[in-house]
Structure 1
Amino acid sequence: MCHRLGKHGYKFQDKQKMRFKHILVDDKNKAMFCYVPKVACTYLLRIFLSLNDNNNVSNPILLKGKDVHILKKKLTNLDRYSKPEIEYRINHYKNIIFVREPLERVFSAFRNKFILTNDPRFIDYVSSKIKSISRNISSKMSPDKGGVNFTEFVQYLLHWRTIEEGYNEHWDSVSNLCHPCLVKYNFIGKYESFKKDVAALLKLLSIEDRVKFQKREEYYKHVPSADMMSKYFKTLPQELFEDLRHIYIQDYLLFNYKIPSIEHILKRQVSF
Protein backbone atom coordinates (compact mmCIF):
# COMPACT_ATOMS: atom_id res chain seq x y z
CA MET A 1 0.00 0.00 0.00
CA CYS A 2 2.93 2.35 0.64
CA HIS A 3 4.04 1.61 -2.91
CA ARG A 4 0.56 2.35 -4.28
CA LEU A 5 0.47 5.62 -2.35
CA GLY A 6 3.85 6.64 -3.76
CA LYS A 7 5.51 6.37 -0.35
CA HIS A 8 7.45 3.15 -0.79
CA GLY A 9 11.11 3.07 0.28
CA TYR A 10 12.80 4.46 3.35
CA LYS A 11 14.52 7.77 2.62
CA PHE A 12 15.50 9.59 5.78
CA GLN A 13 16.84 13.12 6.14
CA ASP A 14 18.16 14.76 9.33
CA LYS A 15 15.48 17.43 9.15
CA GLN A 16 12.90 14.64 9.46
CA LYS A 17 14.01 13.72 12.99
CA MET A 18 11.18 15.66 14.58
CA ARG A 19 8.80 13.32 12.80
CA PHE A 20 9.69 10.68 15.36
CA LYS A 21 8.73 12.40 18.62
CA HIS A 22 5.86 9.91 19.10
CA ILE A 23 8.15 6.90 18.82
CA LEU A 24 9.62 5.70 22.14
CA VAL A 25 12.79 3.62 22.28
CA ASP A 26 13.87 0.89 24.69
CA ASP A 27 17.45 -0.02 23.79
CA LYS A 28 17.74 -2.70 26.45
CA ASN A 29 14.90 -4.73 24.96
CA LYS A 30 15.50 -3.51 21.38
CA ALA A 31 11.92 -2.32 21.06
CA MET A 32 10.23 0.85 19.81
CA PHE A 33 6.62 1.88 20.32
CA CYS A 34 4.71 4.62 18.51
CA TYR A 35 1.98 5.79 20.84
CA VAL A 36 -1.25 7.00 19.23
CA PRO A 37 -3.69 9.02 21.36
CA LYS A 38 -7.18 7.47 21.56
CA VAL A 39 -5.90 3.97 20.83
CA ALA A 40 -5.69 2.79 24.45
CA CYS A 41 -2.58 4.97 24.51
CA THR A 42 -2.27 5.27 28.31
CA TYR A 43 -2.73 1.53 28.82
CA LEU A 44 -0.09 0.68 26.20
CA LEU A 45 2.33 3.23 27.68
CA ARG A 46 2.01 1.35 30.97
CA ILE A 47 3.19 -1.78 29.20
CA PHE A 48 6.15 0.05 27.68
CA LEU A 49 7.02 1.52 31.09
CA SER A 50 7.09 -2.04 32.42
CA LEU A 51 10.21 -2.61 30.30
CA ASN A 52 12.03 0.32 31.85
CA ASP A 53 14.07 -0.40 34.98
CA ASN A 54 14.50 3.28 35.83
CA ASN A 55 10.92 4.34 36.44
CA ASN A 56 11.03 3.34 40.15
CA VAL A 57 7.47 2.03 40.02
CA SER A 58 6.76 -1.48 41.26
CA ASN A 59 3.76 -2.02 38.97
CA PRO A 60 3.25 0.48 36.13
CA ILE A 61 -0.04 -1.22 35.18
CA LEU A 62 -1.57 0.29 38.35
CA LEU A 63 -0.40 3.83 37.60
CA LYS A 64 -2.98 6.58 37.23
CA GLY A 65 -3.27 8.08 33.77
CA LYS A 66 -1.72 11.44 34.66
CA ASP A 67 1.25 9.68 36.28
CA VAL A 68 1.79 7.59 33.15
CA HIS A 69 2.16 10.70 31.02
CA ILE A 70 4.55 12.26 33.53
CA LEU A 71 6.77 9.17 33.45
CA LYS A 72 6.51 9.08 29.64
CA LYS A 73 8.62 12.24 29.54
CA LYS A 74 11.52 10.28 31.05
CA LEU A 75 11.53 7.80 28.17
CA THR A 76 13.70 8.28 25.09
CA ASN A 77 12.19 9.47 21.82
CA LEU A 78 13.59 8.27 18.52
CA ASP A 79 14.25 11.82 17.34
CA ARG A 80 17.00 12.19 19.97
CA TYR A 81 19.29 9.85 18.05
CA SER A 82 21.59 10.56 15.14
CA LYS A 83 20.61 9.60 11.60
CA PRO A 84 22.62 6.32 11.55
CA GLU A 85 21.28 5.39 15.00
CA ILE A 86 17.71 6.02 13.87
CA GLU A 87 18.15 3.95 10.74
CA TYR A 88 19.66 1.08 12.72
CA ARG A 89 16.76 0.97 15.18
CA ILE A 90 14.14 1.18 12.44
CA ASN A 91 15.69 -1.80 10.68
CA HIS A 92 16.66 -3.99 13.64
CA TYR A 93 14.28 -3.36 16.57
CA LYS A 94 10.83 -4.72 17.35
CA ASN A 95 8.73 -1.79 16.12
CA ILE A 96 5.26 -1.70 17.66
CA ILE A 97 2.10 0.24 16.84
CA PHE A 98 -1.59 -0.06 17.71
CA VAL A 99 -4.25 1.44 15.44
CA ARG A 100 -8.00 2.04 15.46
CA GLU A 101 -10.82 2.60 12.96
CA PRO A 102 -10.00 6.19 11.92
CA LEU A 103 -13.40 7.91 12.21
CA GLU A 104 -14.11 6.13 15.47
CA ARG A 105 -10.78 7.39 16.79
CA VAL A 106 -11.41 11.03 15.81
CA PHE A 107 -14.91 10.86 17.29
CA SER A 108 -13.46 9.41 20.48
CA ALA A 109 -11.06 12.38 20.65
CA PHE A 110 -13.93 14.86 20.26
CA ARG A 111 -15.99 13.07 22.89
CA ASN A 112 -13.13 12.85 25.36
CA LYS A 113 -11.96 16.44 25.06
CA PHE A 114 -15.25 18.29 24.66
CA ILE A 115 -17.88 16.16 26.40
CA LEU A 116 -16.39 13.87 29.07
CA THR A 117 -13.59 16.02 30.48
CA ASN A 118 -13.07 19.60 31.56
CA ASP A 119 -9.52 20.01 30.29
CA PRO A 120 -9.00 23.82 30.22
CA ARG A 121 -6.64 23.58 27.22
CA PHE A 122 -9.43 22.21 25.09
CA ILE A 123 -12.48 23.83 26.66
CA ASP A 124 -10.96 27.31 26.54
CA TYR A 125 -8.19 27.52 23.95
CA VAL A 126 -9.22 24.98 21.31
CA SER A 127 -12.94 25.63 21.74
CA SER A 128 -12.44 29.33 21.12
CA LYS A 129 -10.52 28.54 17.91
CA ILE A 130 -13.26 26.18 16.77
CA LYS A 131 -15.97 28.78 17.43
CA SER A 132 -14.08 31.50 15.59
CA ILE A 133 -13.88 29.28 12.50
CA SER A 134 -17.10 27.28 12.57
CA ARG A 135 -19.50 29.97 13.72
CA ASN A 136 -18.33 32.26 10.98
CA ILE A 137 -19.34 29.45 8.63
CA SER A 138 -22.68 28.79 10.30
CA SER A 139 -24.20 30.67 13.24
CA LYS A 140 -27.13 28.27 13.66
CA MET A 141 -25.23 25.56 15.56
CA SER A 142 -26.53 24.68 19.03
CA PRO A 143 -23.54 23.99 21.31
CA ASP A 144 -23.10 20.74 23.19
CA LYS A 145 -21.50 20.60 26.63
CA GLY A 146 -18.19 22.43 26.44
CA GLY A 147 -19.61 24.90 23.93
CA VAL A 148 -18.74 23.00 20.74
CA ASN A 149 -20.80 20.45 18.85
CA PHE A 150 -19.56 17.72 16.55
CA THR A 151 -20.39 19.49 13.29
CA GLU A 152 -18.44 22.55 14.39
CA PHE A 153 -15.52 20.34 15.35
CA VAL A 154 -15.49 18.75 11.88
CA GLN A 155 -15.68 22.18 10.21
CA TYR A 156 -12.67 23.19 12.28
CA LEU A 157 -10.71 20.11 11.14
CA LEU A 158 -11.50 20.86 7.50
CA HIS A 159 -10.61 24.55 7.62
CA TRP A 160 -7.48 25.60 5.70
CA ARG A 161 -6.11 27.46 8.72
CA THR A 162 -6.30 24.34 10.92
CA ILE A 163 -4.68 22.19 8.23
CA GLU A 164 -1.92 24.77 7.75
CA GLU A 165 -1.17 24.95 11.50
CA GLY A 166 -1.22 21.16 11.85
CA TYR A 167 -3.52 18.96 13.90
CA ASN A 168 -3.37 18.27 17.60
CA GLU A 169 -2.00 14.77 18.27
CA HIS A 170 -5.41 13.56 19.47
CA TRP A 171 -6.92 13.88 15.99
CA ASP A 172 -3.89 13.85 13.75
CA SER A 173 -3.73 10.80 11.48
CA VAL A 174 -1.68 7.76 12.45
CA SER A 175 0.19 8.21 9.17
CA ASN A 176 1.43 11.63 10.31
CA LEU A 177 2.20 10.57 13.88
CA CYS A 178 3.96 7.26 13.22
CA HIS A 179 5.05 7.31 9.55
CA PRO A 180 4.34 3.67 8.68
CA CYS A 181 5.94 4.01 5.26
CA LEU A 182 9.23 5.14 6.84
CA VAL A 183 9.31 2.96 9.95
CA LYS A 184 9.20 -0.81 9.49
CA TYR A 185 6.52 -1.81 11.99
CA ASN A 186 6.70 -5.54 12.54
CA PHE A 187 3.97 -5.64 15.19
CA ILE A 188 0.68 -3.94 14.31
CA GLY A 189 -2.06 -4.36 16.88
CA LYS A 190 -5.64 -3.20 16.52
CA TYR A 191 -8.03 -1.65 19.01
CA GLU A 192 -10.77 -3.89 17.66
CA SER A 193 -8.87 -7.05 18.67
CA PHE A 194 -7.16 -5.47 21.64
CA LYS A 195 -7.17 -8.34 24.15
CA LYS A 196 -5.75 -10.87 21.68
CA ASP A 197 -3.18 -8.44 20.32
CA VAL A 198 -2.01 -7.27 23.76
CA ALA A 199 -1.50 -10.91 24.76
CA ALA A 200 0.66 -11.37 21.65
CA LEU A 201 2.59 -8.18 22.48
CA LEU A 202 3.32 -9.28 26.05
CA LYS A 203 4.64 -12.57 24.71
CA LEU A 204 6.77 -10.77 22.11
CA LEU A 205 8.31 -8.61 24.85
CA SER A 206 8.67 -11.62 27.21
CA ILE A 207 6.72 -9.92 30.00
CA GLU A 208 3.56 -12.04 29.95
CA ASP A 209 4.39 -13.32 33.45
CA ARG A 210 4.87 -9.79 34.84
CA VAL A 211 1.96 -7.87 33.32
CA LYS A 212 -1.67 -8.86 33.87
CA PHE A 213 -4.13 -7.83 31.16
CA GLN A 214 -6.88 -5.54 32.41
CA LYS A 215 -10.34 -5.74 30.93
CA ARG A 216 -11.68 -2.49 29.51
CA GLU A 217 -14.33 -2.17 32.22
CA GLU A 218 -11.62 -2.28 34.89
CA TYR A 219 -10.10 1.03 33.79
CA TYR A 220 -12.77 2.75 31.64
CA LYS A 221 -16.36 3.21 32.80
CA HIS A 222 -17.99 5.06 29.89
CA VAL A 223 -20.08 3.71 27.03
CA PRO A 224 -17.77 2.78 24.12
CA SER A 225 -17.42 5.51 21.49
CA ALA A 226 -18.34 3.04 18.74
CA ASP A 227 -21.81 2.72 20.31
CA MET A 228 -22.38 6.49 20.24
CA MET A 229 -21.14 7.42 16.77
CA SER A 230 -24.50 7.21 15.02
CA LYS A 231 -26.02 9.74 17.42
CA TYR A 232 -23.45 12.38 16.44
CA PHE A 233 -22.81 11.51 12.81
CA LYS A 234 -26.50 11.74 11.90
CA THR A 235 -26.26 15.52 12.40
CA LEU A 236 -23.26 15.79 10.06
CA PRO A 237 -23.97 16.93 6.47
CA GLN A 238 -22.99 14.42 3.80
CA GLU A 239 -20.34 16.66 2.23
CA LEU A 240 -18.63 17.22 5.60
CA PHE A 241 -18.65 13.50 6.25
CA GLU A 242 -16.97 12.79 2.92
CA ASP A 243 -14.34 15.49 3.46
CA LEU A 244 -13.64 14.23 6.98
CA ARG A 245 -13.26 10.66 5.75
CA HIS A 246 -10.80 11.86 3.10
CA ILE A 247 -8.49 13.32 5.77
CA TYR A 248 -7.95 9.83 7.17
CA ILE A 249 -8.01 7.91 3.90
CA GLN A 250 -4.36 6.85 4.18
CA ASP A 251 -5.01 5.33 7.60
CA TYR A 252 -7.92 3.33 6.14
CA LEU A 253 -5.76 2.05 3.29
CA LEU A 254 -2.52 1.40 5.19
CA PHE A 255 -4.12 -0.51 8.06
CA ASN A 256 -6.73 -2.40 6.04
CA TYR A 257 -9.88 -0.81 7.42
CA LYS A 258 -13.02 -0.80 5.29
CA ILE A 259 -13.79 2.74 4.14
CA PRO A 260 -17.26 3.42 5.58
CA SER A 261 -20.28 5.18 4.15
CA ILE A 262 -22.38 7.46 6.32
CA GLU A 263 -25.14 4.81 6.11
CA HIS A 264 -22.79 2.22 7.57
CA ILE A 265 -22.06 4.42 10.59
CA LEU A 266 -25.71 5.32 11.15
CA LYS A 267 -26.63 1.61 11.28
CA ARG A 268 -24.33 0.98 14.23
CA GLN A 269 -26.14 -0.42 17.22
CA VAL A 270 -26.40 1.95 20.18
CA SER A 271 -26.23 0.16 23.51
CA PHE A 272 -27.39 2.85 25.96
Structure 2
Amino acid sequence: MVNVWKRKPSSYSSSYFNRSIHIFFSSNFTRAIFVRHSFERLASAYIDKIASLKNESFSLYESVRRVICRKYSLFYLTIAERRFYRIHKRIPNTVKESCQQIVTKFEHFIRYVMSNSLHDDVHWLPYSKLCHVCAFKYNFIEKCETMKEDIQRFKSYLGLKSINLNDEKYFSTGKTKEYYKSLYSNLHNELICYLKYFYEDDFKLFDYRLEDYLTNERTIQCSSSHKQTFRKKI
Protein backbone atom coordinates (compact mmCIF):
# COMPACT_ATOMS: atom_id res chain seq x y z
CA MET A 1 0.00 0.00 0.00
CA VAL A 2 1.31 3.44 -0.88
CA ASN A 3 1.19 5.95 1.96
CA VAL A 4 1.50 9.41 0.44
CA TRP A 5 1.60 11.01 3.90
CA LYS A 6 4.53 8.93 5.17
CA ARG A 7 7.12 11.55 4.32
CA LYS A 8 7.18 15.27 4.94
CA PRO A 9 5.49 17.29 2.17
CA SER A 10 8.77 19.05 1.39
CA SER A 11 10.38 15.71 0.55
CA TYR A 12 7.92 14.90 -2.25
CA SER A 13 8.66 15.42 -5.88
CA SER A 14 5.58 16.52 -7.78
CA SER A 15 5.74 13.41 -9.96
CA TYR A 16 5.91 11.09 -6.90
CA PHE A 17 2.99 12.84 -5.23
CA ASN A 18 0.82 12.82 -8.36
CA ARG A 19 1.61 9.16 -9.02
CA SER A 20 0.81 8.17 -5.43
CA ILE A 21 -2.46 10.10 -5.40
CA HIS A 22 -3.43 8.47 -8.69
CA ILE A 23 -2.79 5.01 -7.20
CA PHE A 24 -4.68 5.86 -4.02
CA PHE A 25 -7.78 6.78 -5.99
CA SER A 26 -7.52 3.85 -8.36
CA SER A 27 -9.90 0.89 -8.37
CA ASN A 28 -7.15 -1.20 -6.72
CA PHE A 29 -7.77 0.56 -3.40
CA THR A 30 -10.77 0.10 -1.13
CA ARG A 31 -11.46 3.25 0.87
CA ALA A 32 -13.64 2.78 3.96
CA ILE A 33 -14.81 5.00 6.80
CA PHE A 34 -16.75 4.24 9.99
CA VAL A 35 -18.95 7.06 11.30
CA ARG A 36 -21.26 7.66 14.25
CA HIS A 37 -23.90 10.25 15.01
CA SER A 38 -22.20 13.61 15.59
CA PHE A 39 -24.03 14.25 18.86
CA GLU A 40 -23.04 10.88 20.30
CA ARG A 41 -19.46 11.38 19.17
CA LEU A 42 -19.27 14.79 20.86
CA ALA A 43 -20.92 13.58 24.08
CA SER A 44 -18.66 10.53 24.17
CA ALA A 45 -15.58 12.75 23.85
CA TYR A 46 -16.84 14.87 26.75
CA ILE A 47 -17.34 11.80 28.95
CA ASP A 48 -13.93 10.34 28.11
CA LYS A 49 -11.80 13.48 27.94
CA ILE A 50 -13.43 15.93 30.36
CA ALA A 51 -15.78 14.20 32.81
CA SER A 52 -13.56 11.22 33.60
CA LEU A 53 -11.29 13.12 36.03
CA LYS A 54 -8.24 11.20 34.89
CA ASN A 55 -5.94 13.93 36.26
CA GLU A 56 -3.17 12.99 33.87
CA SER A 57 -0.10 15.19 34.03
CA PHE A 58 0.45 17.41 30.99
CA SER A 59 -2.81 16.22 29.44
CA LEU A 60 -4.36 18.66 26.97
CA TYR A 61 -7.87 17.75 28.07
CA GLU A 62 -7.00 17.97 31.75
CA SER A 63 -5.88 21.54 31.07
CA VAL A 64 -9.04 22.23 29.06
CA ARG A 65 -11.24 21.02 31.92
CA ARG A 66 -9.49 23.32 34.37
CA VAL A 67 -9.72 26.27 31.98
CA ILE A 68 -13.47 25.67 31.61
CA CYS A 69 -13.79 25.51 35.38
CA ARG A 70 -12.05 28.86 35.76
CA LYS A 71 -13.99 30.45 32.89
CA TYR A 72 -17.32 29.50 34.48
CA SER A 73 -16.07 29.76 38.04
CA LEU A 74 -19.35 31.23 39.36
CA PHE A 75 -20.89 27.78 38.91
CA TYR A 76 -18.13 25.84 40.65
CA LEU A 77 -16.04 27.91 43.06
CA THR A 78 -16.41 29.88 46.25
CA ILE A 79 -15.57 33.58 46.47
CA ALA A 80 -12.21 32.76 48.06
CA GLU A 81 -11.39 30.23 45.35
CA ARG A 82 -12.27 32.69 42.59
CA ARG A 83 -10.07 35.30 44.26
CA PHE A 84 -7.20 32.78 44.23
CA TYR A 85 -7.48 32.40 40.45
CA ARG A 86 -7.65 36.15 39.91
CA ILE A 87 -4.36 36.54 41.77
CA HIS A 88 -2.59 33.48 40.35
CA LYS A 89 -2.81 33.56 36.56
CA ARG A 90 -0.38 30.67 36.10
CA ILE A 91 -0.49 27.71 38.44
CA PRO A 92 2.29 25.07 38.49
CA ASN A 93 1.25 21.43 38.08
CA THR A 94 2.64 20.71 41.55
CA VAL A 95 0.06 23.00 43.19
CA LYS A 96 -3.30 21.47 44.09
CA GLU A 97 -6.03 23.78 42.86
CA SER A 98 -9.78 23.87 43.36
CA CYS A 99 -10.59 23.08 39.73
CA GLN A 100 -8.54 19.90 39.87
CA GLN A 101 -11.49 17.81 41.08
CA ILE A 102 -14.30 19.71 39.37
CA VAL A 103 -16.29 17.97 36.63
CA THR A 104 -17.43 20.81 34.42
CA LYS A 105 -20.91 20.72 32.91
CA PHE A 106 -21.57 19.49 29.40
CA GLU A 107 -23.08 22.88 28.52
CA HIS A 108 -19.92 24.73 29.53
CA PHE A 109 -17.81 22.26 27.58
CA ILE A 110 -19.91 22.92 24.45
CA ARG A 111 -19.79 26.69 24.89
CA TYR A 112 -16.03 26.63 25.34
CA VAL A 113 -15.42 24.37 22.34
CA MET A 114 -17.69 26.42 20.07
CA SER A 115 -15.97 29.69 20.99
CA ASN A 116 -12.40 28.40 20.92
CA SER A 117 -9.98 26.97 18.38
CA LEU A 118 -10.67 23.58 19.99
CA HIS A 119 -13.58 23.11 17.58
CA ASP A 120 -10.89 21.68 15.25
CA ASP A 121 -10.03 18.85 17.65
CA VAL A 122 -10.02 15.45 15.93
CA HIS A 123 -12.39 13.96 18.54
CA TRP A 124 -15.31 16.13 17.45
CA LEU A 125 -14.31 17.81 14.18
CA PRO A 126 -16.95 16.98 11.51
CA TYR A 127 -16.05 13.97 9.38
CA SER A 128 -16.63 16.10 6.29
CA LYS A 129 -13.52 18.10 7.26
CA LEU A 130 -11.52 15.50 9.16
CA CYS A 131 -11.80 12.69 6.60
CA HIS A 132 -12.38 14.69 3.40
CA VAL A 133 -15.40 12.54 2.63
CA CYS A 134 -16.26 14.11 -0.71
CA ALA A 135 -12.68 14.24 -1.99
CA PHE A 136 -11.70 10.68 -1.07
CA LYS A 137 -14.78 9.00 -2.59
CA TYR A 138 -15.01 6.19 -0.05
CA ASN A 139 -16.15 2.80 -1.33
CA PHE A 140 -17.68 1.87 2.02
CA ILE A 141 -19.32 4.12 4.60
CA GLU A 142 -20.20 2.11 7.70
CA LYS A 143 -22.11 3.37 10.73
CA CYS A 144 -21.47 2.53 14.38
CA GLU A 145 -25.23 2.17 14.81
CA THR A 146 -25.23 -0.79 12.39
CA MET A 147 -21.62 -1.81 12.83
CA LYS A 148 -22.13 -5.57 13.15
CA GLU A 149 -24.00 -5.80 9.88
CA ASP A 150 -21.71 -3.33 8.12
CA ILE A 151 -18.52 -5.10 9.23
CA GLN A 152 -19.96 -8.40 8.08
CA ARG A 153 -20.56 -6.99 4.60
CA PHE A 154 -17.13 -5.34 4.59
CA LYS A 155 -15.41 -8.57 5.67
CA SER A 156 -17.24 -10.51 3.00
CA TYR A 157 -16.17 -8.01 0.35
CA LEU A 158 -12.50 -8.18 1.41
CA GLY A 159 -12.48 -11.89 2.23
CA LEU A 160 -11.36 -11.30 5.84
CA LYS A 161 -11.91 -13.70 8.75
CA SER A 162 -9.72 -12.24 11.52
CA ILE A 163 -12.24 -10.08 13.43
CA ASN A 164 -14.17 -11.72 16.27
CA LEU A 165 -17.66 -10.33 15.86
CA ASN A 166 -18.84 -12.02 19.05
CA ASP A 167 -16.79 -9.65 21.19
CA GLU A 168 -19.26 -7.00 22.32
CA LYS A 169 -16.54 -4.51 23.23
CA TYR A 170 -16.15 -3.71 19.54
CA PHE A 171 -19.69 -2.32 19.45
CA SER A 172 -20.17 -0.63 22.81
CA THR A 173 -19.08 2.76 24.14
CA GLY A 174 -20.11 1.90 27.69
CA LYS A 175 -22.99 4.41 27.62
CA THR A 176 -26.48 4.12 26.19
CA LYS A 177 -28.07 6.38 23.62
CA GLU A 178 -30.55 7.51 26.28
CA TYR A 179 -27.67 8.61 28.49
CA TYR A 180 -26.18 10.70 25.71
CA LYS A 181 -29.60 12.18 24.94
CA SER A 182 -29.93 13.24 28.57
CA LEU A 183 -26.81 15.40 28.22
CA TYR A 184 -28.45 17.38 25.43
CA SER A 185 -31.80 17.71 27.21
CA ASN A 186 -30.53 20.61 29.34
CA LEU A 187 -28.84 22.56 26.55
CA HIS A 188 -30.36 25.85 25.42
CA ASN A 189 -31.86 25.95 21.95
CA GLU A 190 -29.15 28.30 20.74
CA LEU A 191 -26.45 25.73 21.54
CA ILE A 192 -28.37 22.96 19.82
CA CYS A 193 -28.65 25.20 16.76
CA TYR A 194 -24.93 25.98 16.82
CA LEU A 195 -24.19 22.25 16.87
CA LYS A 196 -26.68 21.68 14.07
CA TYR A 197 -24.80 24.10 11.83
CA PHE A 198 -21.40 22.82 12.98
CA TYR A 199 -22.33 19.28 11.90
CA GLU A 200 -24.62 20.29 9.06
CA ASP A 201 -22.60 18.59 6.32
CA ASP A 202 -22.23 15.36 8.33
CA PHE A 203 -25.98 15.21 8.90
CA LYS A 204 -26.55 15.46 5.16
CA LEU A 205 -23.77 13.09 4.10
CA PHE A 206 -24.63 10.27 6.51
CA ASP A 207 -28.37 10.71 6.82
CA TYR A 208 -28.34 11.59 10.52
CA ARG A 209 -31.00 13.75 12.14
CA LEU A 210 -30.83 16.37 14.87
CA GLU A 211 -34.02 14.90 16.35
CA ASP A 212 -32.29 11.58 17.05
CA TYR A 213 -30.79 13.07 20.21
CA LEU A 214 -33.65 15.25 21.41
CA THR A 215 -35.78 14.03 24.32
CA ASN A 216 -39.52 14.13 24.97
CA GLU A 217 -40.37 15.02 21.39
CA ARG A 218 -38.55 18.31 21.81
CA THR A 219 -38.48 20.42 18.67
CA ILE A 220 -35.85 23.01 17.82
CA GLN A 221 -36.44 25.91 15.47
CA CYS A 222 -33.14 27.28 14.20
CA SER A 223 -33.29 30.66 12.51
CA SER A 224 -30.98 32.39 10.07
CA SER A 225 -29.78 34.60 12.93
CA HIS A 226 -28.57 31.47 14.76
CA LYS A 227 -26.57 30.50 11.70
CA GLN A 228 -25.06 33.96 11.30
CA THR A 229 -24.06 34.05 14.97
CA PHE A 230 -22.55 30.59 14.67
CA ARG A 231 -20.50 31.60 11.60
CA LYS A 232 -19.07 34.54 13.53
CA LYS A 233 -18.04 32.26 16.39
CA ILE A 234 -16.26 29.83 14.06
Q: Same fold (TM over 0.5)?
A: yes
Q: Which residue number corresponds to residue 165 of structure 2?
A: 213
Contact 2:51 2:103 in 1 (8 A): no
1:66-145 to structure 2, matched below 5 A, reads 78-80=4-6, 82-92=17-27, 93-116=29-52, 118=54, 120=56, 121-131=59-69, 134-135=71-72, 139-140=74-75
Q: How big is each residue's C-alpha offset from its partner over 1:170-221, in whole Å with a ceiling of 9 and x where there is no partner?
A: 111111110011101011101111100011111222112x332134257858
Partner of 2:111: 155
Please identify runs of 4+ aligned residues in structure 1 that moved more than 6 A: none
Q: Deviations over 1:220-239 (max 9, x none)?
A: 58332x12023211221111
Deviation of 1:108 after TM superposition, in Å, equals: 1.1
What residue ranges of structure 2 are gaps of 5+ in the alignment?
8-16, 78-98, 218-234
Q: 1:220 to 1:180 in 2, by over 3 A?
A: closer
Listed one character per residue, the Cα deviations across residues 62-92 of structure 1 (whole Å, up to 9, x for unaligned) are xxxxxxxxxxxxxx85423723302321233
Identity across aligned pairs (percent)?
23
Q: Give the structure with the higher percent helix.
A: 2
Q: Which runs of 5+ in 1 are unaligned?
A: 1-26, 28-75
Equivalent in the alignment of 1:64: none
Tell me what 2:14 maps to.
Answer: none
1:67 counterpart residue number: none
Work out which of the two has the higher radius of gyration on C-alpha atoms and give 1 or 2. 2
1:170 counterpart = 2:123: yes
* Contact preservation (8 Å) 1:230, 1:267: no
RMSD, matched Cα? 3.0
SS in 1 for 2:117: helix
Given the superposition, is the C-alpha separation of residues 219 and 184 from structure 1 closer, same or farther in structure 2, using an over 3 Å criterion? closer
Q: How many angstroms apart in 2 are the aligned matches of 1:119 and 1:195?
A: 34
Give the C-alpha shift of residue 141 in structure 1: 6.0
Deviates more, 1:108-117 or 1:242-251: 108-117
Match of 1:223 among 175, 183, 186: 175
Q: What amino acid maps onto 1:228 in structure 2?
A: Y
